[in-house]
Every structure is written in structure tokens, then in C-alpha cells.
Amino acid sequence: MVDMSTQQQTTTTVVLGDAPLSIDDVVAVARHGAPVSISEAAWERVRSARSIIEGLAEDTVAHYGVSTGFGALATTHIPHAKRAQLQRSLVRSHAAGTGSEVEDEVVRALMLLRVQTLATGRTGIREETLRLYLALLQYDISPVVHEYGSLGCSGDLSPLSHCALTLMGEGRVRVAGGDEIGAAAALADAGLAPVELHEKEGLALINGTDGMLGMLCLAVHDLRDLLVNADIAAAMSVEGLLGTDDVFAADLQGLRPHPGQGLAAANMRAVLRDSPIRDSHRDPQACTRVQDAYSLRCAPQVHGGARDTVEHAASVADHELASAIDNPVITPDGRVESNGNFHGAPVAYVLDFLAIVAADVASMSERRTDRFLDVKRSHGLPPFLADDPGTDSGLMIAQYTAAGMVSEMKRLAAPSSVDSIPSSAMQEDHVSMGWGAARKLRRSVDALSRVVAIELHTAARGIALRGPLRPAPATGAVIDALAEHGEIAPGPDRFTAPDLAATHLAVVDGSVRAAAESVAGPLA
């Protein structure tokens, strides 16, 4: 997965209850361990909502989730004496995940978002239970959550149940990313006591889209940064392949005024500004090419379309971050009502959209990489940018690596949200598969960062082979930053994987963008 944990961290406390969370808040808590608190106004709402639930618990009329079973068993009345067991059974039975362990940042995002919903005063959670959930974040206790178990409706049931299990002192956890231990031991070591769940609390803890939303927030954050890196890489490829920046002119881009396209073109113009390599073939008599290939000429259109899709996904995330998702839910006027807000379709759709654009941006990046290596299309560069072609293979197999990832990304772009397998004896007869969409998107975002890194590495070598011509000042700064991370200079074949890993680190730790911006100014 993309690991941007080395980028700027924050210790500013994220306060829940006064305003919706932002995407940056989610990243700060999930990835950088920012502290979390709940406002006093939110605590008052929590206490008020709980009093409503306690009143219903004594009612002779059955109320879903309070005095009934769940799902297809919603018509089964549960007597008072069995209601604590009802909540325990709900969490235990729904903690049915399997497969690989989910990343810590995803679990922390999931927990943060569930705590936020619980703090809205719309779920009926007890204050004691919510304080313990908040403490899991504060003490960096992360339940072990598994890859498979959610259909994205009713929310991310199994992942959230593994977290709820921890509140009961059951299941397995990791503390500060350490070895897996029992939840009871982890709570005791932190001076915390497990809780016994009361009426409605089991549902309140597990009935939300928090896992898929957390992964959406992380993906939007990472893609916003990766698209800037893709613009930098594309500009370097245009320069190294003796392409033209004339097509990126603001007036031409303005003829098709998509906002993302304009931003991408502006970034590329800024990176290419004052390039001696570009100036060397500006005379039409010295350059007989009429138009560059699409992978060079149309980069702003593709990168821009990707940007606009990411911002649409961000708007969906913002709406979700302002939501209170549970079923049943306590309305502002005190009613307890069933609803369908737990359905993950809105999130699932944009998760799928993002996998599509990530694959397309990567596909175009790989095509630019390939042009550098083909002597018939590289305009004077040696085959595969090799030092001694034939004896040396240069970056031949680096392109294979990029092509393999792009091929996988195309498979990952097949949407999850068009699928549905009915569950719970046909009571839950349409589900979103949003969790699956989020899981495959994480793999796709990681692959995009690596494909772009391979293009940057290739372009840096191609530009070096244009010597004695100098690159643009911004391009030169990027090449210097890459050189600080690892070997990028042309020369006899060497162990390639460490060089590519070093360039990838320069992408995800922010070095490439920072270097370009140190000369070109802020890139959007």
C-alpha cells in the first residue's frame, strides 16, 4: 500500500462533535496518530439519546435492536433477562472475518469514524462505552480486522464487530503496531476495563460504512498528491522525449474548461519553464514533428479528468463525514426510526470510479516510459537507455514491471458496486460491496505510485542522456532530489530494484513534489 507516513505529521487534537470531520482529519488520526477528543456538547447529546433508549427498553412494545433480534430475526422478541446476551451474541457472531489482517491505518480510520457517529447522539450508545472506544484510539490499541467479511450493507458489519469485540475484552489486538495479543490483556495494561453492552449498543457499534469511508478518505488524500507527481513525471517525459509544451498553453486549455485539466496543464507548464532542452528544438526547421503522441500531448486531459473524479469522490466523502449512520437512529426530535442509511452505494460507486482513473493515469504513464526505451520513438536516445546496448539491458525490465502493474490495475478497475449477493435470508437482498471496492482501490493506488516512480526514474535517465543540454530548473531540482534517494545516473547495468525503490520513496515521502515546487512554485 502507499505509505505516506513520512510526510508531515500533526499533533493537533481532532475534536469530535462540534463540526464534521475533514478528510485531512481522518488522515491525521489514522496515519499520524493525532489525538482525538469529544466536545462537551456532544457528550450531552450522547447522554440525552441514551435516556431515550432506556425508556424504550422498558416498553411493552417491541423495538428493533432494543428488544428484538436482528436482520431476518427482527420479529423475534427478546425478554429483558436475555438482552445483555443478545448484544454479546450479536458482536461475537458478526465478528466473522477471515483472510489477511487489514492495515493499522485503515482500522484507526474505521474506529475514528464510528466514534464520530456515536458522538452525534443519534445512536443511543452509553457514555461509558463511547469513552472506552475513544480510549482505544488514545492508547493506540487496534483490533485485528480481516480482509474479508463486509458486503458494504448493513455497513461494514464484520470489521466493526471485530472492533466492538475489543470493547468487551474479547478478540485480538495490536498495541502501537506491536505483536498480536488478547484484547483483555491490552485493556488491562492500559488501565482500562471492558464493558458489558446494554440494549441497542451492539447495533450502534457495528452498523456503519466506516471502513469503506475511511479507505475512501485515505485514497482521496493519496491520489491528490500522486496526480501532482504524475504531472511532474509527464512534464519530464515531454522534456526528455523532445516534445513540445506549446499544447499546454492556457488559452488552448481554456477552450475546454474542465478545472482539473487546467490545473494539470498549469503544473506541466511550470515544471517545463525555461528548459534549455525544450529551447533546443523550438525552431520549426530544426524539429520536423508536427504533433506529439497522445501520451505526451493529452496528459492534461487524462490527469485533469482524474483530478475532477477525485474531487467528486471527495465531495461524497464530505457528505458521509457529516452523516450519522445507524439503524434504527434517534432523530433530533427524539423519535427512534428504522432507515436505510447504512447502505454503502454512494461510497462504493466513487471507490470504483477512483480505481478506473488510477488505472488510466498509470496506463498513460507506462506508455511514456515505453517511448523512452524504444529507439524508433525516443528521438536519439540509446535502446532501453542502456550504456552498452546488447551487453546492457538498461531499463528494459523496469518497463515490464510497470506494464505488469498496469495490467493488474485494469483488472482492479472492474467495478465491485455492480455486484450484489443477497444475504440474511433475503432480508438484505441488495448490498453495495463497497468494502471490496475499497480494498482493491488501495492496491491500485499503491501500484499507481510505483508506475509513476518508474516513469520518473526513466525520464531522469533520459534527460541525463540529453547532455550537455541542461533540463528545466524545476526538472533539475527533481533529478537532484532523486539522486539523494538513490542512483539514477546512466551507466552499466546494476541491480535495478533498489534504484526503483528509492525513486518510489521519493514520490511517497513528498521529496519529488517538494523539489519541483522549490523552483516552480506551488503545484495544485
Of the residues 64, 133, 148, 294, which is catalytic? 64
Calculate ∠ Cα 295-389-377, nearest 5°.
25
Number of CB atoms found within 10 A of residue 516's CB: 28
b or e along 39-77 (b: 16 or more beta carbons within 10 Å of the residue's beta carbon)?
eeebbebbeebbebbeebbeeeeebbbbbebbeeeeeee
Catalytic: 64? yes
Which 3 state secondary structure label does DSSP give 147?
strand
Residues near 25 by Cβ (< 8 Å), separated by ≥ 6?
Answer: 14, 34
* 8 Å CB contact between 397 and 350: no
* 8 Å CB contact between 451 and 174: no
CA distance 166 to 148: 18
Q: Enter the C-alpha cell of residue 106.
A: 485503515
Q: What is the DSSP string of 338-400?
A: ---TT--HHHHHHHHHHHHHHHHHHHHHHHHHHHHH-TTTSSSPPGGG-SSBTTB-TTHHHHH
User: Active-site positions?
Assistant: 64
